[in-house]
Structure 1
Amino acid sequence: MIEDGYQPNARGSMAPAAMSFMRDHGVLKDIYTERDGSSHKTAKGKKLSVRTVKAPGFGPKGIHRFVLPFTVFLKLKDIGGNVL
């Protein structure tokens, strides 16, 4: 990750860099939750909260950058006759 330009923060943590890496190359889900607020005394209000969670897998950019350069596509007949 450091070779690709993702740096640790001032305290030396790589957590923000990992989230940035996941946003660029991985799969993140943004979950929006909207609640009607009954706690407002004089007005109707809605509370909107957003949280981001990591999902398994690579995005297309991640597959192109980190998987395809090391991938070989073969058929079983290309390997040899007694494979199975």
Structure 2
Amino acid sequence: MVKKMVFEGLNLRKYLEKHLEETSYHLKVMKYRVADPSEPTMGLANSFVVMAGESFNVLSNGRLHAPFHRVVMNANKTRLSVG
């Protein structure tokens, strides 16, 4: 629905069906447990994720921007990630 509104708003309606046919989605759920203090520390101090909304920036020639997104995690709780 959002893609349809964006394509129509940008006068690109004739390309919508082809775009929808060629787009595929993958959903992944990850569970991160609390780290055991005796385990060596792994991971990155910082990470970078490209949100799907970035594609609208390209489609709109820079007129639409994906929002900034920041997550602060609690190292003492098990957490789930969906993406």
User: TM-score band (shorter)?
Assistant: under 0.3
The structure with the largest strand share of the pair is 1
Normalising by the residue count of structure 1, what TM-score does the alignment of the two structures yield? 0.24
User: Comparing both chains, which one has the higher relative contact order based on Cα–Cα distances under 8 Å and sequence gaps of 6 or more?
Assistant: 2
Normalising by the residue count of structure 2, what TM-score does the alignment of the two structures yield? 0.24
Q: Which has the larger radius of gyration?
A: 1
